[in-house]
Structure 1
């Protein structure tokens, strides 16, 4: 009999997803089990290597490329072979968010992920928030056609027509140990008298507030669903339990502190590259394989995560005693380096390091901790080159600019080698939004003068690398979402409350920082205090040529994306401002013409699990027709492209910082 879960919602979900067998036999517990867990997360369809830089042997930076799925495959197979040679069984796990983030995805969507990920030997994947980006039907197609399970123990899909019949979207996957292999099995009965390992998934409990299209899915609480799942598995005699989560590092810590019985959490969502990667200008995050004591004071949960964009692979080696309790967890992330190194960020042939220096540089790179020069898997490289790359190259369109330096993007100031001002690229993008919305032709239709612009860091998906800039770099890589722009009026007090709400949510260690606000014609200084909360020491807007303090009672015209204007991703103060009514305008391109959609109000709708979704009600339409042929909702990208065409010398000028975050 299943132990009653903590909440009614979790009970409904578990009865639907966990009652795969009525068996209550108790497997015998074997002793001294050691496993190797190879893991990746937040790959975001970065099938090719991504540009990077490293401190060279002389202390000067060298420019190169790292990661990509062909390197991931090479390294994962190597790590699993090495485990087998040591007599250790291994799992290859993905912490979610395979979708969105590259030109490959914009063209081939879920189909390329099905193809490439199916070739990689993955054993299970968590359900990430970006898996919802192209709709439930395409998510269902992905889940039905991948050759590994998509896991989310806190998601009830029984009432959602697109996903209800997708058997491969499930709560957990069971494995039994046979020699040096972990064999996937379907039912609890298959684990009888064998050493069994369970991997269960967790999706964000607040998915509705982040993702516009979740249909009739119900998202149960992460902690209650996790404990109920662990209790159920342990009642069936399964004591080696791994949580494969897409919650973010800080929420993984919270989970370990509140749930008994999880041995390992393999995470994603916060893009946490655990360990010291300062040599790669990627900063230093929390140590790899953090061990957290459970609330019972006895159990320990090991937490790991492996960064982003297919740049690194994690390896955790875990050991259990004869009761199934975790006794050791250790390992590290390994950044996957290439053999190509350049002295300039343009990475042109004339800046390639001399052949006489190649061996010296390679030897130096191989000596760096947590780094390995890794060859691409030739078969996977050939598939990408022959099947997908020609269409990607064709989609980039015309050249619109050029930059000799990379224009960086980071989510949170002070991370990934950035200073207290954070992302340079985000500032330029907000400048583009301000510029475009205040163009005479646009203002003639909206009747609005925009005072300042804000964007969340997560709306921006890539750096702008040195070299020629094509339209595709903006539309396919940097701003790939359907992002209509919104103009909405709010008071200075409401603006201040919004900024503090969003900034403070990003400050805890390992927190999801995609919501962090960057600005144009609005500048602020946020000072973090010992409490871990920030206060605004300065909040000003650029009125003509003069910076003026924001007045709490004055109403201002704010530009942002409609995703954020609806209150998604922690920007709920904006939804609250519009709950009773609003003067907001949403802008899209409709059949090559600017179209304006006035909004009446924005509702916060609470589902049966207590989670909220935000819905904009339009004055003369049911919603924005973004999927209609001939319409274009990538308005933020259009604004950036037009801005670059109008300011060809943009990159030659230093942009004064508008965002300052002072950490304690």
Structure 2
């Protein structure tokens, strides 16, 4: 067997094999990486399974802890005489109270202190407009990469030196230094990092101006070919596509040595001991179309909770011969017996050290202290304003209300997110209140919300308005009410869920519901069948009628057809009975929609926009206008239901995989 393996390795240069004599001692490279940090500068609530099987509550991650660990990994690489790069897979924007108050400015400040080498362009970088994205691009001290984005016709982003297809790094004394060109490397060995953004960005992030998003595969191959023709042997793709697309990219493009990804929030590996589930293995290796090249694919979760490190080895021909590594979850030293994490539930001093040792020995885990200087920057310059913005207490919960995107992920059961169900309930309740119905005069029967509309779980303890408006539902999300046939609703749910169950897929589109319930059974790698679809009428569940029309409420973002919900746009392409709701002086105001248009750019990629009867667009930036209607609906619901958290909500979503 050993002789056979040696023979195979000598012929095919299989990853994990020792390369043949004469081509063995090539470059070894370490990739330190993060993605989907979403402005989570502070640690996130988490829990781990203690030796007795009971949960212990703590905090993980945050940028000060992340900086400590990244610097430790860099220092270790220097000691090992191995060059290293620190890469960010995109989506630094959105997701926390810090971002809602300080937007791109705090990301410029904090990320510039992280010693990042390059970042991919994520979809949430477009959330606050192109002008603020341009400000971010201009002021960060690392390049933002996107090889498949044509900026030439968009004045706000054209000719931005820091927004570039790729970055070259030259090797000298086991260190990599950014250089402007191959000639500037003066014969030194080069590593190229190219960026890729979502080719369907216009259908996910409407505010993309005149940017053109080209094919991920074609752009990647074209860029790789150009780099190789210039003599670059080592090429890394830094992407914000989602893990499933990364695997497909590796199988479709020749010449990429590793893909460092983002977008799907994939914490690759087994983290069930942290109640975070088990995802695909870290550092999967995919064979390229030519049957010779190999690509190592990695990703590192979300919210600055973990850092990944991959080690790549090459032979002298520049071929990948080995790829290994893993994600490390960044644990703290504060442990509590209660999910509220109150001081009186803190683990006592006698068991503190034993607990810390236990945590340090958990697989894929490191106990890491926060960087003192970065912690001080947050505490002194940003945290006071964040605390002041949280407002009044509106509810109290004694347990965390978790949120996951896909049922069965992140330690959840087949019903998935508890929080999403309550938010769907709140939307349905709100549009049926007297104040809204006085204007609408049309009872609403069901609610739909995408998992990605919800950006954070609800921690145990006091719930303030800011928890909802700044963390859980931070988007400007007008509510849309429209009618739909039962058969159309069934097709919509089947399509969205089928897209979501693909291994490694982006699952922000996954639908959570109220007023209806469904059971979806996975029938293939990319297909589901709805074995049950019921609607609640007069307090009773009964099967949905395919030919009947029903009134639904969802967010305007999804009603326009974004994020894979394009069937809704198609149903409104010619005309619609839809009305959108915002708040004026804290009172509901309705705006009829005439139709929803799909407009393609020069590459054929569509974007979607509602056309209103009497105005160009909703006046969300006007004084006295509040477009965070989903958030306000949830706040009002919690205030009206003080007993909510003591009641058991019957699941309305079931995914059988």
TM bracket (short chain) = over 0.9
Does 2:388 match 1:391? no
| Residue ranges of structure 2 left out of the alignment (5+ in a row) | 1-22
Q: Deviations over 1:329-380 (max 9, x none)?
A: 1101000000000111011011111110011101111111110000000000
Question: After TM superposition, where is structure 1 displaced by more than 4 Å over at least 4 residues in a row?
Answer: none
Using the alignment, how far apart are the partners of 1:629 and 1:36 within structure 2?
A: 50
The alpha-carbon deviation at position 30 of structure 1 amounts to 11
Using the alignment, how far apart are the partners of 1:220 and 1:566 within structure 2?
A: 22
Aligned to 1:529: 523
Q: Which of 193, 215, 219 pairs up with 2:187?
A: 193
Aligned to 2:368: 374
Aligned to 1:163: 157
Aligned to 1:237: 231
Using the alignment, how far apart are the partners of 1:275 and 1:423 within structure 2?
A: 21
Using the alignment, how far apart are the partners of 2:51 and 2:68 within structure 1?
A: 26
Q: Work out whether residues 30 and 195 of structure 1, in 8 Å CA contact, stay in contact via their aligned partners in 2.
A: no
Does 2:47 match 1:48? no
- Provide the secondary structure at the position in 2 that maps to 1:529: strand
Using the alignment, how far apart are the partners of 2:600 and 2:326 within structure 1?
A: 41
Q: Which of 565, 588, 595 pairs up with 2:559?
A: 565
Q: Which of 618, 621, 625 pairs up with 1:624?
A: 618
Q: Work out whether residues 31 and 323 of structure 1, in 8 Å CA contact, stay in contact via their aligned partners in 2.
A: no
Q: Which of 286, 290, 300 pairs up with 1:292?
A: 286
Does 2:138 match 1:144? yes
Q: Which of 254, 257, 262 pairs up with 2:256?
A: 262
Q: Superposition RMSD on alpha carbons, in Å? A: 1.0
Aligned to 2:579: 585
Aligned to 1:463: 457
What are the within-5 Å matches in structure 2 for residues 200-211 of structure 1? 200-211=194-205
| Residue ranges of structure 1 left out of the alignment (5+ in a row) | 1-28
The alpha-carbon deviation at position 227 of structure 1 amounts to 0.2
Aligned to 1:16: none
Aligned to 1:106: 100
Using the alignment, how far apart are the partners of 1:530 and 1:427 within structure 2?
A: 26
The alpha-carbon deviation at position 271 of structure 1 amounts to 0.3
The alpha-carbon deviation at position 532 of structure 1 amounts to 3.8
What are the within-5 Å matches in structure 2 for residues 417-456 of structure 1? 417-456=411-450
Using the alignment, how far apart are the partners of 1:31 and 1:447 within structure 2?
A: 75
Using the alignment, how far apart are the partners of 2:526 and 2:610 within structure 1?
A: 33
The alpha-carbon deviation at position 530 of structure 1 amounts to 3.7
The alpha-carbon deviation at position 531 of structure 1 amounts to 5.3
Using the alignment, how far apart are the partners of 1:447 and 1:582 within structure 2?
A: 17
Using the alignment, how far apart are the partners of 1:135 and 1:592 within structure 2?
A: 25
Using the alignment, how far apart are the partners of 1:329 and 1:629 within structure 2?
A: 54
Using the alignment, how far apart are the partners of 1:349 and 1:290 within structure 2?
A: 43
Q: Work out whether residues 125 and 148 of structure 1, in 8 Å CA contact, stay in contact via their aligned partners in 2.
A: yes
Using the alignment, how far apart are the partners of 2:410 and 2:587 within structure 1?
A: 40
Aligned to 1:551: 545
The alpha-carbon deviation at position 630 of structure 1 amounts to 1.9
- Provide the secondary structure at the position in 2 that maps to 1:244: strand
Using the alignment, how far apart are the partners of 2:521 and 2:26 within structure 1?
A: 50
The alpha-carbon deviation at position 653 of structure 1 amounts to 0.2
Moved more, 381-390 or 610-619: 610-619
Q: Deviations over 1:143-185 (max 9, x none)?
A: 0000000000000001001101311111000000011210001
Q: Work out whether residues 252 and 265 of structure 1, in 8 Å CA contact, stay in contact via their aligned partners in 2.
A: yes
Aligned to 2:122: 128
- Provide the secondary structure at the position in 2 that maps to 1:487: strand
Moved more, 541-550 or 195-204: 541-550
Using the alignment, how far apart are the partners of 2:468 and 2:361 within structure 1?
A: 36
Aligned to 1:475: 469
Q: Work out whether residues 57 and 361 of structure 1, in 8 Å CA contact, stay in contact via their aligned partners in 2.
A: no
Q: Work out whether residues 485 and 562 of structure 1, in 8 Å CA contact, stay in contact via their aligned partners in 2.
A: yes
Change (3 A) 1:31 1:235: farther
Aligned to 1:65: 59
Equivalent residue pairs, number: 635
Q: Work out whether residues 286 and 296 of structure 2, in 8 Å CA contact, stay in contact via their aligned partners in 1.
A: yes
Aligned to 1:81: 75
Q: Work out whether residues 46 and 68 of structure 1, in 8 Å CA contact, stay in contact via their aligned partners in 2.
A: yes
Q: Deviations over 1:37-85 (max 9, x none)?
A: 1000000000000000000122211000000000100000000100000
Aligned to 2:478: 484
Aligned to 1:20: none
What are the within-5 Å matches in structure 2 for residues 293-332 of structure 1? 293-332=287-326
Q: Work out whether residues 155 and 218 of structure 1, in 8 Å CA contact, stay in contact via their aligned partners in 2.
A: yes
Using the alignment, how far apart are the partners of 1:477 and 1:191 within structure 2?
A: 45
Q: Work out whether residues 402 and 469 of structure 1, in 8 Å CA contact, stay in contact via their aligned partners in 2.
A: yes
The alpha-carbon deviation at position 129 of structure 1 amounts to 0.2
Change (3 A) 1:30 1:161: farther
Using the alignment, how far apart are the partners of 2:498 and 2:523 within structure 1?
A: 11
Q: Deviations over 1:395-424 (max 9, x none)?
A: 000000000000010000000100000000
Q: Work out whether residues 501 and 525 of structure 2, in 8 Å CA contact, stay in contact via their aligned partners in 1.
A: no
Q: Work out whether residues 606 and 612 of structure 1, in 8 Å CA contact, stay in contact via their aligned partners in 2.
A: yes
Using the alignment, how far apart are the partners of 1:399 and 1:289 within structure 2?
A: 44
Q: Deviations over 1:456-493 (max 9, x none)?
A: 00000010010000000000000000000000111001
Q: Deviations over 1:303-352 (max 9, x none)?
A: 00000000000000111111111111110100000000011101101111
Using the alignment, how far apart are the partners of 1:364 and 1:401 within structure 2?
A: 34
Query: Could you state the TM-score of these two structures normalised by the residue count of structure 1?
Result: 0.95
Aligned to 1:333: 327
Query: Could you state the TM-score of these two structures normalised by the residue count of structure 2?
Result: 0.96
Using the alignment, how far apart are the partners of 2:532 and 2:570 within structure 1?
A: 24
Aligned to 1:21: none
Aligned to 1:176: 170
Using the alignment, how far apart are the partners of 1:401 and 1:157 within structure 2?
A: 46
- Provide the secondary structure at the position in 2 that maps to 1:648: coil
Using the alignment, how far apart are the partners of 2:611 and 2:476 within structure 1?
A: 18
Q: Which of 99, 102, 111 pairs up with 1:117?
A: 111
Using the alignment, how far apart are the partners of 1:617 and 1:205 within structure 2?
A: 25
Aligned to 1:9: none
Aligned to 1:4: none
Q: Which of 611, 630, 649 pairs up with 2:643?
A: 649
Q: Deviations over 1:216-257 (max 9, x none)?
A: 000000000000000000000001000000000000000000
Aligned to 1:612: 606
Q: Which of 402, 405, 409 pairs up with 1:408?
A: 402
Aligned to 1:92: 86
What are the within-5 Å matches in structure 2 for residues 356-367 of structure 1? 356-367=350-361
Using the alignment, how far apart are the partners of 2:186 and 2:310 within structure 1?
A: 27
Using the alignment, how far apart are the partners of 2:275 and 2:575 within structure 1?
A: 46
Using the alignment, how far apart are the partners of 1:228 and 1:535 within structure 2?
A: 39
